[in-house]
Amino acid sequence: MLGVALLGAGRIGQVHAKSITANEGCRLIAVADVFEEAARTLAAAYGAEARSVEAILADPAVEAVLIATSTDTHSDLIEAATAAGKAVLCEKPVDLSLERALACLGRVEASARPVMVGFNRRFDPNFAALKAAFDAGEIGKGELLSITSFDPAPPPVSYIKVSGGLFRDMMIHDFDMACWIMGGAPATVSAVGSAIVDPEIGAAGDVDTAVVTLTWADGRIAVIRNSRRAAYGYDQRVELLGSEGLLAAQNVLENTVEKTTAAGKVSAKPEFFFLERYMRAYEIEWTAFVEALKAGAAMPVSLAEGVAALACAEAATRSAATGARVSITPDMLGAA
């Protein structure tokens, strides 16, 4: 039994608590949260204890820590937990500051403890099937990747202001998907964005609609489309053109019912948002972390990969502002 502690008892922490306790090889020992009441309630629901982070890190029974706290605490907690000898699964993004994330990466590499970043979409069965088919050579060499990622509705502007901006907060997932599918970080990033959904988002210095184009040195290209609003729900698709064909992962629909009348054929909407669409992915993500730990294998999503996604976000933010194509240089990826 793997002894686990959960840091963060908010919405996503609750999702993770479920995955941790559903895994027969894990025991949830403790939960921490800045709001003690939240920690207590969640801990009680799963027969665990509410504790401080310090108490958790000091407990040798805790072998792994899942970090689901606010983004500004991720780097510090990763460092503290690895320093205490724990294995770590940390929610995305690693940090809003690429500089800070790079420093964290250096310290973690020194600690030699396993750290995984929680890019849940890699574990969605549909995207995983696309990746597997591609890696099996079913469409030859990958040439042009397209990722669509639209949220149902923008978050409150108060959240936007502390989010780090669309590229770091929302498109970070898509940067990781692109690097994962294409097998490494891109060479250049070109971005455009605008606040067309809600001018208040523009007034807060952010964009709500954006298109980013990535290139690799060998000529491969990826394009990412993001919008903070799709009236029909959560739109999550991937399409990869290869030398021998096209692979596409379409949306998961709410049901399979079709109604045909004089107005046409109506089928269901996509599943509404990430808690519906990716619930299964979160479970698989946790299982993948636990199995890699037990096998002593490489983490399914490394901290360096988390930093690479952040480097793309940093570059996109700059490109959107200046109109220039931005290169991803080795130092942005933590290369010595």
Q: Please list every residue from 298 through 327 that binds a copy of itself, using CB under 8 A.
A: 323-325
Q: How far is the C-alpha of 164 from the C-alpha of 71, rounded, in Å?
A: 10
DSSP of 53-99, one letter per residue? HHHHHH-TT--EEEE-S-GGGHHHHHHHHHHTT-EEEEESPS-S-HH
Q: Is 263 in the site for a copy of itself (CB under 8 A)?
A: yes
Q: Contact between 204 and a copy of itself (CB under 8 A)?
A: no
The tokens describing 114, both together, are 């396993």
Min CB(102)–a copy of itself separation in Å: 25
Q: Find how far residue 148's CA is from the centre of its chain.
A: 15
61 binds a copy of itself (CB under 8 A): no
Q: Which segment (6-14, 46-54, 240-248, 289-297) binds a copy of itself by CB under 8 A? A: 240-248
196 binds a copy of itself (CB under 8 A): yes
Interface residue with a copy of itself among 139, 301, 304, 311 (CB under 8 A) is 139
Site for a copy of itself in 95-114 (CB under 8 A): none
Q: Which is nearer to a copy of itself, 158 or 256 (CB)?
A: 256
329 binds a copy of itself (CB under 8 A): no
C-alpha–C-alpha distance, residues 150 and 152, integer Å: 7
Q: Is 281 in the site for a copy of itself (CB under 8 A)?
A: no
Spatial CB neighbours of 153, under 8 Å, sequence gap ≥ 6: 228, 229
- Of residues 162, 194, 297, 331, which one binds a copy of itself by CB under 8 A? 194
136 binds a copy of itself (CB under 8 A): no
Picking from 230, 226, 219, the residue whose alpha carbon sits closest to that of residue 317 is 226
Residue 232 touching a copy of itself (CB under 8 A): yes
Distance CA 173, CA 175 (A): 6
